Amino acid sequence: MSSAPSGTHNFKVVLLGEGCVGKTSILLRYIEDKFNDKHLTTLQATFLNKKLNINGKRINLSIWDTAGQEKFHALGPIYYRNSNGAILVYDITDEDSFGKVKNWVKELKKMLGSDIVLVIAGNKVDLEHERTVPLEEAESYAKMVGAKHFYTSAKLNQGVEELFLELTREMVERFEQNSQTEVNRTSRVLVVEDEAPTQSSCCSGSRSN
Amino acid sequence: MEGAYDEIISDNPFFIQFKNEYSNLLQHCISQSWIICVPRIGSLNTRVFTVEDFCAHVLVPSDELPETHYSTLTEKQVTVANKVITLEVTKGLPLQSHILFEETFYTEDYIKYKVWCVETPLEPNTNVGDCAITKDYLLSINDCIDLLWTQAAGRQVLDQIELNVQQFLKKHSPLPIALAPLRDAISELYTQCLQSTLQNRRLREKCKVSKHLLENIKLSVECYMQHLLFDSLFKPICTICAYEDSHLNKKIRNMCDIQLRDLDIKKELYHAVPKAKQILSKIVTYNTVLEKVLCLKQALNAINKKDNSNNVVLLTADDLLPVFVFLLIKSSIPNWYSQLKYMKEFRFSEVGNGDCDESAFLITTLEAVIEHIQSGALAGPPNPESYYYESNLTEDNLNDNGQRKNSLTESISTCDTNSREETLEYVFDLIKANNSEQVQYLLEKNQRHLQSLQQNERSAVKFAENQDDDDDEDDDEEYETEIYQKLCHPLCSCKKCCSKISKNLLKTSPTVSSRDSHGLTPLHIASIHGKANIVEILIDMGAKINATDLNECTPLHYAASRGHQNALLLLLHSGASINQANIDKNTPLHLAVNNGHMNCIKALIYFAEHGRKNLKINCTNEHGNTPLHLAAKWGYEGIAKLLIENGAEPSLQNHNNKTAFDYAHNLKILQVLKLSTPNLYEYIHITSTEVKTLNCKTDNPVTLKLQSLKTRNNETNNVTKTVENLKRLERIFQAISYGDVKLACFYMNIKYENYANTNITTDRLSCHPLCECQLCKKTHQTISDYDINFADSNGLTALHYAARYGLDELCKILLLNNANINSSNRKGQTPLHLAALNNKIMVIRFLLDNGANINAIDLSGNTPLHDACEVGNIGATKMLLNYNPNLNMINGSEKSAIEVAKEKLHLTIIDLIEKHTNKIK
């Protein structure tokens, strides 16, 4: 969305998801191989910056962790406005957290349209034996809303690197596309409307809280 | 963070050469995931590098400690700690270099490798290039000024910005009271400032070379501009945000007794809160956005530190938000919304970056916190008592909370001593649940029991004396029998019966006057929760209306602070004392104002008016604040208006010598305060120090009177009289400046005609103090309600003005009306000074003839002669010399009058004075 004259892309990425799904762990894992644990004292776990250079394109990622507790749900728009990408995290052992992801997707699509690149992350694959969110359901849902789906484990350092790399590539692509032509948004919006009725019960349930 | 170093590594000559000429080595490094260090651009002055140079900059992680220990390809040992690379060298001190930033590179096949941009080359003996880079971070306005000063080699850039700001303020006065035009205007100014800064050739050259410097210059210019502009800029912002601020304040005030545990804050963070609070409260003292954001960051870092057991406490957003909510509520800063808007909208140097830096994150966090407080999500259900109820819970009874609520609905069958029914808590819970019947039943029953116990004692004695005398105890018949039937015999004293009786005596059933550990009575609880019907019942049952708890708060205090109008009115009508002060000397009115409960304030005022009670509207609390101070501080416009309409006095000072004017942080409130002093625009600018100097003029009878009035706060009439006098003075001054003596006399209630035709000899005022001749009579005749020596905020009296404008006729009239001829204004100048300064020869003569002190000195030590010499008034000097002034007096800069004249090269004057000295000799 924004680019310094030097050609460096500045991208804002928000991490969304219910509390305890491991948003912060993913973020820390991604940054952690930068410095060892001792340095974490000086790090904010809520805001991190990372400079990337992909094929000569400079990208400055600002990753914002958001509050996951339900009482802070209303603050979402303040955090995700102007963001270029969103990582929606759920816990594969917790079906509710996947429902929350669906809510977020709907909300993001409604508020930001297709300007935002979505990536869905099923975290805690190290607990595969306790899985309650079916693999197929998650993947087909991600496909339907036009998001990439990743399985991650912050504990085992699986998939985190790939997740951010893919997201960044997609954002660069989206940015270049946007700057050249007007994007055709209708198809993406239509997708949301298609799946809306199936989600209505779960949305209304959580909204009332 | 702003000002962090950045450069494009792909453009770095070291890196380009590495890539082009030693691509095999680079490929190898990449495949081994070795770290490549690149010295920042400009740190190497050579453009030719050997293979050793590159090898020295490749870090191979060691096997044991891959995170901190490395070796270079030139076999040197390297350690990394806290972003500093330390290189062991064979002789001398180890070489150190900062890691400026890390960049993760991906090849075309997405193989990752890391590049560290380092401050200096990792080789000993290399020639270090240009001077060390400028400060990594700009942390304060001083850093910014420093940067602009050193980079431009002088203060011309700073002067240029100052000039721009001054011109801007002249052009845009007053500043627009709407955010968009205000922002646009300031943004234009910023561009102007930046342009004029970059006109400095030296700076321009430097910025061309270093993008990093350019960014820092931009930031510094913005900061310096904000620093200069802040006072004029922040008031309009506060005015724009007045509505939002006052609403936020009301929300915050009503939550101010919230505790850490109420917000689900992690226990590990408790210890850090006081420190963070202290840091955050400083945010108002900073003028620039940069410093304000930094303050937020520091507050956040304070929370983020290690806990007591030295474990790293990692803050997630879920932990962070409640802490910030708590800090905001406890900070007692009255304009958070304005602060937010200022930070959000007036950061121009970062505009290009969108929302992508840490400052944006911090500001967004603040916005989220404010939004969270505003939304009312914190207070839970809309009725405040439920919130209070929750917040009052301790952790211990948090668990049995649900169970207790359930038990409220259940009827309790057993009646043993420890039954829940018998505890005060249960009664309180019933009150909170608004179960009036149950409350009444319980308390009445317990009351009866208590009475019967007392009577039992008496009757037991009676019993022994007169067994048949039962008639007296009719009232308690039912109860009596209840107990005594249980005994073997009414007079039995067996073990069983004794224990039954003693149990009865030990019963601690709550009554209407019971108190809990905080000294709260049932009436307090009912008032806190606004249960008007229960308040009524309790009052009927004889509850003490003015019972005070630990904080010396009466039920009325609670009803007022919680905004329960009905309960408040009931209490008032039952004789609650309206001006009762609690431990902080707050009256119920203070509390209602502080929490923004308009309805309660109205009720208090209305009741006082109709009940002929004296509501002390200017009552002060422990800090000397009147209710109006509080209303002004929190920006409650409507309340301030109401208070002023009912006689609140805005010019009263608290213990910090601050008036309500000083606390008003936006123009809207100022406007309201001004209501009490109509048409007197000048009054608004009177700060407390000026009020003080006004009061200090002890030789001035009216101000003396005024001073004594101030101690008697209720006499608002007299204060308004002062205000009226000030208004009148303004008109008089205007008349004098037109030279209209008649009009000035009219305003002063002096009959001009009485003096118009009389030929007063200038050398005497009246024939004799007791003289009764025509002339003297006339002089004493005019008894004006206007005090002739009344001074405005600058200490100027009418005589000063008359002297300044050279109206000797008016001077005569004023002196005849007992004007003080030697009264001095704020600068210590007497009327004679002003006459000398303005070369009013006739006035000088008249004043000196009538006893003006020719050697009077003002605050800078100047006599009237000094002034005349300074300005070069020949006539005035001549006239003054006629009256033999002391020529040897020296002023504050240790100069005599003649020296002043010499300095200014007023030759005629020098001549005059020299002649005069010779004559004396």
pLDDT of residue B344: 85
pLDDT class of B328 with cuts at 50, 70, 90: confident
What is the predicted pLDDT for the residue at B232?
84
Q: What is the per-residue pLDDT for A137?
A: 87
- Rounded Cα distance, A73 and B901, in Å: 77
* Cβ-nearest to B101 among A51, A55, A161: A51
> Is residue B395 scored above 50 in pLDDT?
no
pLDDT value for B192: 87
Q: Is the pLDDT of residue A168 over 80?
A: yes
> What is the predicted pLDDT for the residue at B269?
75
Tell me the average pLDDT across B206-230: 84
Residue B308 pLDDT more than 60? no
CA–CA gap between residue B394 and residue B401 (Å, rounded): 10
Residues A56-60 have a mean pLDDT of 86
Contacts with A, B 822-841, CB within 8 Å: none
Structure confidence by residue, pLDDT tens digits, B250-300: 888 888 777 777 777 777 778 788 888 888 888 888 888 888 888 888 888
Q: Beta-carbon neighbour count of residue B234 at 10 Å? A: 20
pLDDT, tens only, A181-208: 654 444 444 444 444 344 444 444 434 3
Chain B nearest-CA distance from A9, in A, is 9
pLDDT score for B33 = 80
How much is the average pLDDT of B443-466?
68
Q: Is B364 on the interface with A (CB under 8 A)?
A: yes
| pLDDT confidence of residue B527 | 87
Residue of B nearest to A162 (CA): B110
pLDDT classification of B145: cutoffs 50, 70, 90? confident
How high is the pLDDT of residue B464?
53
Residue B166 has pLDDT above 60, yes or no: yes
For residues B399 and B883, which has the higher predicted lDDT (pLDDT)?
Answer: B883
Query: How would residue B40 be classed by pLDDT, with cut points 50, 70 and 90?
Result: confident
| A101 in Cβ contact with A89 (< 8 Å) | yes
Q: How many helices (H) and strands (E) does chain A have?
A: 6, 7
pLDDT reading at B694 higher than 70 = no
Residues 464-523 of B with CB under 8 A from A: none
Does the pLDDT at position B670 exceed 50?
yes
pLDDT band at B764 (very low <50, low <70, confident <90, very high): very low
Q: What is the pLDDT of residue B711?
A: 43
Lowest-confidence pick of A171-180, B160-169, B749-758:
B749-758
Q: Which of A40-44, A168-172, B726-730, B790-794 has the lowest mean pLDDT?
A: A40-44
Specify the pLDDT at position B475: 41
Average pLDDT over residues B733-739: 81
What is the residue-averaged pLDDT of chain B? 76
DSSP B782-794: ---SS-TT---TT
Please write the tens of the pLDDT for every residue from B589-621.
998 998 888 888 988 888 888 877 788 888 888
Whether the CB of B316 is below 8 Å from some CB of chain A: the reply is yes
pLDDT higher than threshold 70 for residue B913? yes
| Mean pLDDT within B361-387 | 69
In residues, how long is chain A? 209
Cα separation, B843 vs B873, in Å, equals 14
Q: Which of A39, A53, A69 is facing B103, going by the closest CB pair?
A: A53
Lowest mean pLDDT among A1-10, A72-81, B227-236, B902-911: A1-10
Does the pLDDT at position B544 exceed 70? yes
Closest by Cβ to A60, choosing from B318, B355, B356:
B356
Q: Is a pLDDT exceeding 60 seen at residue B832?
A: yes
CB contacts, 8 Å: B357 with chain A: 49, 62
Tell me, what's the pLDDT at A6? 52
Q: What percent of chain B has pLDDT over 70?
A: 77
Burial class (CB in 10 A: 0-12, 13-18, 19+), B523: buried
* Structure confidence by residue, pLDDT tens digits, B461-491: 555 555 544 444 444 444 444 555 566 666 6
Tokens of B483: 């107990």
Of B104, B112, B317, the CB nearest to A67: B317
Query: Would you say residue B585 has pLDDT above 50?
Result: yes
B284 touching A (Cβ < 8 Å): no
Q: Which of A19, A69, A165 sits opposite B110 (nearest CB)?
A: A165
pLDDT at B713: 43
Distance CA B811, CA B748 (A): 13
Question: What long-range pairs does B266-271 form, CB within 8 A, spacing at least 24?
Answer: B266/B313, B266/B319, B268/B307, B268/B311, B268/B313, B269/B303, B269/B307, B269/B313, B269/B315, B269/B319, B269/B323, B271/B307, B271/B308
Which pLDDT score, from 0 to 100, does residue B676 have?
65
| Torsion on CA atoms B276, B282, B284, B285, rounded to nearest 10 | -160
Q: Does B377 touch chain A (CB under 8 A)?
A: yes
Confidence tier at B404 by pLDDT (50, 70, 90):
very low
pLDDT number for residue B378: 67
Closest to A102 (Cα-Cα) out of A32, A33, A204 = A204
Amino acid at B894: E
Quick one: closest CA in B to A38, which residue? B82
Nearby residues of B131 by Cβ (< 8 Å), 6 or more positions away: none
Percent of chain A past pLDDT 90, that is, above it, reads: 2
Identify the pLDDT of residue B356: 64
Residue B201 burial (C-beta neighbours within 10 Å; 0-12, 13-18, 19+) = exposed
Selection from B630, B660, B652 nearest residue B716 by Cα: B652
What pLDDT digit, counting tens, does each position of B233-248 carry?
888 888 888 888 888 8
B695-705: per-residue pLDDT in tens?
443 444 444 44
**Chain A residue numbers touching B353 (CB-CB < 8 A):** 2, 4, 10
Q: Does B368 touch chain A (CB under 8 A)?
A: yes
Beta strand ranges found along B632-748 (DSSP E): none
What mean pLDDT do residues B330-359 have?
Answer: 78
CA distance A194 to chain B (A): 32
